């Protein structure tokens, strides 16, 4: 396949797939946000899910809207304007790291929720969750500062990291932070969550018996039951995240192994660029699919979803 053919295919996909992700992802994540905000009193993880929805929304618009806009402008302002390049790189990096971070935090929080240890269960109090949320937002906002500093427009055609040691750092960073660490944390937490959930089912005992040292009152039992109802949402989202990141993981390993290969032909470089673009588009698909995953898996979310739709339709 020639370079021009690949560019044409990518242009067609940008003009068709990206608008769908923008529209569906925007509406879906806004609905997700308001549904989880309504559940703050019922579930400690609802705040994390709400922040995650905003991160998905930011990723879609900051990461993929320029890809839709550039064919109409005839050029990509992100790739040609130095200031826009740096600002966009910082914001995209920030929303992406928030997405992965809070997905990991949600997985860890659910392990604490279903734990039989009182100390672990108390760690998911709303006060602690608010502190974790604020601390996480500030921490990553500072850590990601390296992106706009070392990213710049190169040759007037691309917004990319500066040549030298930072390129190697970015490559390793893009392998560990977005892929290896989240997948490892999510995988371990999902395994523990499934194991604990199976133990609960096999015991066929009241939820209060989760704690062998303390007798939970009725209010605590009801809250714990609502917390455990969030487990399917976490597991399906973690599974889809891992599956859709496998191609990007494979490509990242390939890129690290061949990044110093100077014998690549223009056709090969064009194909690699297209594959990289497809791997990134899978992230947009993930950010778009979340509301459909929630509706499919959780009856509680479906009720909240249709209730919110009726409430909105009445107002209009």
Model confidence pLDDT, tens digit, residues 15-27: 788 888 889 999 9
Torsions phi, psi of 161, nearest 5? -65, 150
- State pLDDT tens for residues 181-228: 888 888 888 888 777 766 665 554 444 444 544 444 555 555 566 666
Highest mean pLDDT among 2-11, 221-230, 306-315: 306-315
Separation of alpha carbons 103 and 123, rounded Å: 17
Percent of residues, the chain, with pLDDT higher than 70 = 80
Q: Tell me, what's the pLDDT at 251?
A: 79
Nearest CA to 288 out of 34, 52, 54, 24 is that of: 24
Q: Domain locations in the chain? A: 3-80+96-133+178-315
Residue 18, Cβ density class (10 Å: 0-12 exposed, 13-18 middle, ≥19 buried)? buried
Nearest CA to 290 out of 311, 309, 305, 275 is that of: 305
- Which runs of E-coded beta strand occur in 156-296? 158-161
Average pLDDT, the chain: 79
Of the listed ranges 71-75, 233-237, 277-281, the one predicted with least confidence: 71-75
**Is this structure's pTM higher than 0.85?**
no
Separation of alpha carbons 217 and 225, rounded Å: 12
- Which runs of E-coded beta strand occur in the chain? 151-154, 158-161
For residue 309, name the pLDDT band (cuts at 50, 70, 90).
confident
Residue 109 forms beta bridges with which residues?
A: none
* Average pLDDT of the residues in 159-165: 75
Nearest CA to 287 out of 98, 40, 56, 96 is that of: 56
Token reading at 30: 């806004």
> Bigger pLDDT: 32 or 209?
32
Calculate helix-pair angle for 82-113, 231-258, nearest 10 degrees: 140
Token reading at 156: 């007037």
Q: Tell me, what's the pLDDT at 216?
A: 46
Token reading at 193: 């969550």
Domain covering 3-80+96-133+178-315 assigned CATH 1.20.1070.10 in the classification? yes
For the cut 90, the answer to whether the pLDDT of residue 136 exceeds it is yes
Nearest CA to 118 out of 210, 230, 194 is that of: 210
Token reading at 122: 């108390």
The CA distances from residue 225 to 13, 152, 216, 240, in Å, are 44, 50, 12, 25
Q: Tell me, what's the pLDDT at 215?
A: 47
Torsions phi, psi of 159, nearest 5? -100, 105
* Average pLDDT of the residues in 291-296: 91
């Amino acid at each position: 396949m020639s370079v021009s053919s690949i560019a044409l295919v990518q242009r067609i996909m940008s003009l068709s797939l990206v608008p769908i992700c923008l529209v569906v992802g925007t509406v879906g994540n806004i609905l997700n946000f308001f549904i989880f905000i309504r559940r703050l009193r019922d579930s400690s993880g609802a705040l994390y899910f709400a922040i995650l929805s905003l991160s998905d929304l930011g990723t879609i618009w900051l990461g993929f809207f320029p890809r839709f806009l550039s064919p109409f402008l005839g050029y990509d302002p992100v790739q040609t304007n130095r200031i826009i390049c740096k600002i966009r790189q910082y914001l995209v990096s920030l929303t992406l790291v928030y997405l992965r971070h809070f997905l990991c935090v949600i997985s860890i929080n659910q392990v604490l929720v279903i734990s039989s240890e009182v100390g672990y269960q108390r760690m998911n109090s709303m006060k602690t969750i608010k502190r974790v949320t604020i601390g996480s937002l500030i921490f990553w906002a500072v850590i990601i500062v390296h992106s706009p500093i070392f990213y710049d427009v190169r040759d007037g055609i691309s917004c990319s990291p500066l040549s030298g040691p930072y390129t190697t750092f970015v490559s390793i960073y893009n392998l560990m932070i977005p892929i290896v660490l989240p997948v490892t944390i999510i995988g371990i937490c999902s395994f523990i969550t499934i194991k604990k959930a199976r133990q609960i089912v096999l015991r066929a005992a009241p939820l209060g018996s989760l704690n062998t040292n303390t007798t939970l009152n009725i209010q605590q039992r009801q809250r714990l039951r609502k917390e455990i109802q969030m487990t399917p949402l976490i597991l399906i989202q973690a599974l889809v995240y891992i599956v859709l990141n496998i191609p990007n993981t494979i490509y990242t390993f390939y890129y690290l192994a061949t990044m110093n290969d100077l014998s690549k032909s223009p056709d090969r470089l064009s194909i690699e660029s297209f594959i990289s673009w497809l791997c990134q588009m899978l992230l947009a698909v993930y950010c778009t699919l979340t509301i459909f995953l929630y509706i499919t898996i959780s009856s509680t979310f479906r009720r909240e979803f249709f209730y919110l739709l009726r409430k909105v339709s009445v107002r209009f």
